[in-house]
Amino acid sequence: MGNILDKIIMRLMILFIASLPLVESRGAIPIGISLGIDPIQAAVLGILGSLIPVPFLLLFMEEIFKFLGKIKYLDKILEKITNRTLKKSDIINKYSVLGLALFVAIPMPNTGIWTACLAASLFKIPSSHALLGISIGASIAGLIILILSYGIILW
C-alpha cells in the first residue's frame, strides 16, 4: 500500500511543480523522469500541471495586478514585469492566438504560461482563445522538453 501511495504522491508533486511560475513543465518533466516516472507519463503530468493555473490566471490576472499595484513597492515590480512582458511579446501582439502558441512553445526563460497569460490579458485576447493557444504551446514545449530530457538521461 505504501508503494502505491508513494507513486501517487510523486505524480501529484510533478503536477504541483509544473503549476509553479518559472518552473512549469520545463522543470517538472525532467524532475519526473529523474524520479523514475515513465517519461511519457512525466510529460503528460508536466503539461497538465502547467495548465492548471491558466483558467484562473486568464480570468483574474488583470484584477490581481490592479489590486497588487496599489501596494507600495509592489507597483514598481509589477510595472517591470508588465514592461518585460510587452517587450518579449511582439509575436503575441502580431499573431494573437497563434502567437501565444508559438510564444509558449519555445522553452526559453520568460516565455512560459504565466507570462503568456499576462500578455493575453494585456492584449485583451479572449480567455477561451488564449486558453487554446496556450494549451497548444504548452503541449509543444512539453514534447520538446521530453525529447531533450529523455535524450540527456539516456546519454
- pLDDT, residue 153, reads 54
- pLDDT, residue 152, reads 64
52: helix, coil or strand? Answer: coil
- pLDDT, residue 155, reads 52
pTM: 0.89
Q: What are 144's three cell numbers?
A: 520538446
Q: pLDDT per residue over 89-120, tens digit each?
A: 888 988 999 999 999 999 888 889 999 999 99
Q: pLDDT per residue over 22-44, tens digit each?
A: 899 999 999 999 999 999 999 99
Which residue, among 126, 138, 125, has the nearest Cα to 53 in the 3D structure? 138
> Mean per-residue pLDDT for 106-135?
92
> Mean per-residue pLDDT for 128-138?
97
What single DSSP character describes residue 37? -
Q: pLDDT per residue over 47-79, tens digit each?
A: 999 999 999 999 999 998 889 888 888 888 889
- pLDDT, residue 154, reads 55
Nearest-5° Cα angle at 18, 12 to 20? 110
Nearest-5° Cα angle at 150, 145 to 151? 100
Task: Say if residue 130's pLDDT is above 90.
Answer: yes
Query: CA 87, CA 100: separation in Å to the nearest integer?
Result: 14
- pLDDT, residue 89, reads 84
The size of the chain, in residues, is 155
- pLDDT, residue 149, reads 87
